[in-house]
């Protein structure tokens, strides 16, 4: 199901669920102060759909934790802070979170936004796990910053390998969103890897996110006739680009990164035929907790396609809970230390162990292919 469809009727359900969760939490730990975990996620603006999916995953995790007895006899409360798809708002939300002295921050989603909050949280010494920011720079800001997703260097290399080795493409065009750090960084890693393999990037175009008409961007591509067009953008822009490219007579294979999400279909429709993108998670990927998560999700939000950002944020909340339990403390430094020393937590999206940067090592990825009017799991990659 399309994400946009979720929006319409999900909101009241979401509110109801939150109310339920609070009540449950209140029953579990009546006497103590609840532990506040901030969720800085876009709940409006261009990243809204991603933010909502992520919030759903987090809510499922918080619900489960509280049902299991909370954290150190404290109820876990999710403080939702809307970063409004804007780095400035994200920054303000981070300030707010610091002010409330939350135990940790789960967020933000897009790398641009995470980069806006990470320095503040690092400085304040509050641990942060981003469920979706794949840009390597994010976790390099400091030792309090972690992520539950894989990184763009991995993803870029993966897609370059796939394009060159598996698909046999030798010429590529790369189209980048100049407003998004993610897009630029992924494009850079893809380009580097593709060229290293022996391919040629014959053109690099750039566009501004949220644009409506991409003909200026695509006109040179028509004449170049590349074999593959790599579009490391978000679903709206990428979908519209692919749709317009097909109508302009570009028959190349389109490939993208994790930001495409299955939601790219909402914008591109069947123009996506034979397009590929890499994803963090798919029900067909062989991770044990997936089934339980899908069950919980569908129970809470009804049937429909599940964005990979929901299990990613579910895992992020779970990681926090795991670290607090292991450290047996609500002290930020101790939680950070415990996070860094996570021994091998098995999440919905894979096995977690952090490297020195705070990036999960040995996390796999999957490649989806659009075929016969739907996204099909095409291939799994393990590092």
Partner 1 sequence: MRFPIKKPRSLSFRINTAIWTVCAAMLLVFSLFFYAFENHQRQSQIEQAKVLLSSVYLQKHEELANEIFAGHREAVTYILNEIMSVKGIGSINVFDTKGNLLNSTGVLRYPFIAKDKRRELKDGPQYEEIRGEEHPYIAFSTNIEVIGEHMGYFVAYFDLSDLYRASQMRMLLIMAVFGSMLVVLSIVLHYLLIRLVVQPVWRLRDAMGDVMKGHLGAQMELPLKDEIGEVADAFNTMSLQLQEQHRRLTRSVEARNSYAAQLEETNRKLAQLNADLETIVADRTRELRASYDTLQTEIQERRRTDQEKRALEERLVRSQKMEALGILAGGVAHDLNNVLSGIVSYPELILMDLSPDDPLRSMISTIQRSGQKAAAIVQDLLTLARRGVTSMGVLNLNRDIIDEYLNSPEFQKLTSYHPGIVIETYLDRDLMNIRGSDVHLRKAVMNLISNAAEAQPEGGRIVISTTNRYVDLPVSGYEHVHEGDYIVLCVEDFGSGIASEDLNRIFEPFYTKKVMGRSGTGLGMSVIWGTVQDHNGYINVESREGQGTKFELYFPVTREKADVSPATFSLEKYSGQGETVLVIDDVEEQREIAFTMLTRLGYTVVVMSSGEAALEYLQDHTADILVLDMIMSPGMDGLETYTRIIAIHPGQKAVIASGFAENERVKETQRLGAGAYIRKPYTLEKIAMAIRTEIERVKS
Give the interface with partner 1 as residue ranges (CB under 8 A): 86-89, 91-92, 112, 115-116, 178-181, 206, 208
DSSP, collapsed to helix, strand or coil, labels residue 377 as: strand
To the nearest whole angstrom, how small is the minimum distance from the Cβ of residue 211 to partner 1?
9
To the nearest whole angstrom, how small is the minimum distance from the Cβ of residue 60 to partner 1?
31
To the nearest whole angstrom, how small is the minimum distance from the Cβ of residue 183 to partner 1?
10
91 vs 280, beta carbon nearer partner 1: 91
To the nearest whole angstrom, how small is the minimum distance from the Cβ of residue 86 to partner 1?
5
86 vs 134, beta carbon nearer partner 1: 86
Distance CA 366, CA 354 (A): 20
Give the β-pairing of 350-352 and 345-347. Answer: antiparallel
81 vs 158, beta carbon nearer partner 1: 81
Least Cα distance to 238 among 177, 312, 192 occurs for 177
To the nearest whole angstrom, how small is the minimum distance from the Cβ of residue 181 to partner 1?
7
Distance CA 210, CA 222 (A): 22
181 vs 307, beta carbon nearer partner 1: 181
DSSP, collapsed to helix, strand or coil, labels residue 161 as: helix
Distance CA 310, CA 316 (A): 10
Beta bridge partners of 380: 366
To the nearest whole angstrom, how small is the minimum distance from the Cβ of residue 179 to partner 1?
4
To the nearest whole angstrom, how small is the minimum distance from the Cβ of residue 210 to partner 1?
8
What strands lie across the sheet with 76-82, from one edge to the other?
Answer: 76-82, 35-41, 104-107, 128-130, 145-147
To the nearest whole angstrom, how small is the minimum distance from the Cβ of residue 191 to partner 1?
16
92 vs 139, beta carbon nearer partner 1: 92
Q: Is the distance from CB of 85 to CB of 47 less than 8 angstroms? A: yes
115 vs 264, beta carbon nearer partner 1: 115
Q: Is the distance from CB of 154 to CB of 383 less than 8 angstroms? A: yes
Question: What are 80's two structure tokens?
Answer: 């939702």
Distance CA 100, CA 40 (A): 13
112 vs 307, beta carbon nearer partner 1: 112
User: Following DSSP, what letter does each residue of 33-74 receive, concatenated?
Assistant: PPEEEEEEE--SSTTHHHHHHHHHHHHHHHHHHHHTT-BTTB
Distance CA 346, CA 287 (A): 8
96 vs 379, beta carbon nearer partner 1: 96
């Amino acid at each position: 199901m399309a994400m946009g469809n979720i929006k319409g009727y999900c909101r009241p359900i979401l509110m109801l669920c939150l109310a339920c969760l609070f009540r449950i939490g209140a029953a579990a730990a009546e006497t103590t102060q609840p532990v506040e975990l901030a969720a800085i996620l876009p709940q409006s603006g261009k990243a809204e759909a991603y933010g909502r999916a992520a919030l759903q995953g987090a809510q499922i995790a918080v619900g489960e934790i509280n049902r299991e007895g909370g954290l150190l006899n404290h109820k876990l409360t999710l403080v939702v802070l809307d970063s409004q798809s804007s780095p400035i708002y994200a920054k303000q939300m981070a300030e707010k979170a610091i002010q409330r002295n939350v135990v940790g921050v789960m967020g933000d989603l897009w790398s641009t936004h995470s980069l806006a909050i990470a320095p503040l949280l690092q400085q304040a010494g509050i641990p942060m796990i981003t469920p979706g920011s794949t840009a390597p720079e994010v976790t390099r800001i400091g030792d309090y910053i972690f992520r539950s997703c894989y990184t763009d260097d991995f993803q870029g290399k993966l897609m370059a390998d796939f394009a060159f080795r598996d698909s046999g493409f030798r010429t590529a065009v790369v189209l980048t969103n100049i407003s998004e750090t993610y897009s630029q960084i992924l494009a850079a890693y893809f380009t580097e890897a593709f060229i290293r393999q022996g391919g040629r990037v014959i053109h690099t175009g750039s566009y501004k996110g949220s644009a409506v008409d991409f003909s200026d961007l695509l006109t040179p591509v028509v004449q170049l006739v590349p074999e593959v067009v790599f579009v490391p953008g978000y679903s709206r822009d990428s979908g519209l680009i692919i749709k317009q490219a097909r109508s302009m007579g570009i028959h190349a294979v389109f490939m993208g990164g994790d930001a495409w999400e299955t939601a790219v279909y909402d914008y591109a429709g069947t123009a996506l035929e034979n397009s590929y993108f890499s994803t963090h998670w798919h029900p067909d990927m062989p991770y044990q907790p997936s089934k339980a998560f899908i069950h919980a999700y569908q129970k809470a939000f009804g049937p429909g396609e599940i964005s990979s950002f929901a299990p990613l944020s579910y895992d992020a909340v779970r990681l926090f809970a795991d670290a607090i339990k292991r450290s047996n403390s609500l002290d930020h430094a101790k939680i950070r230390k415990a996070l860094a020393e996570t021994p091998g937590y098995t999440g919905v999206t894979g096995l977690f162990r952090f490297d020195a940067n705070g990036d999960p090592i040995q996390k796999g990825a999957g490649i989806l292919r659009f075929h016969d009017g739907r996204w099909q799991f095409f291939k799994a990659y393990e590092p």
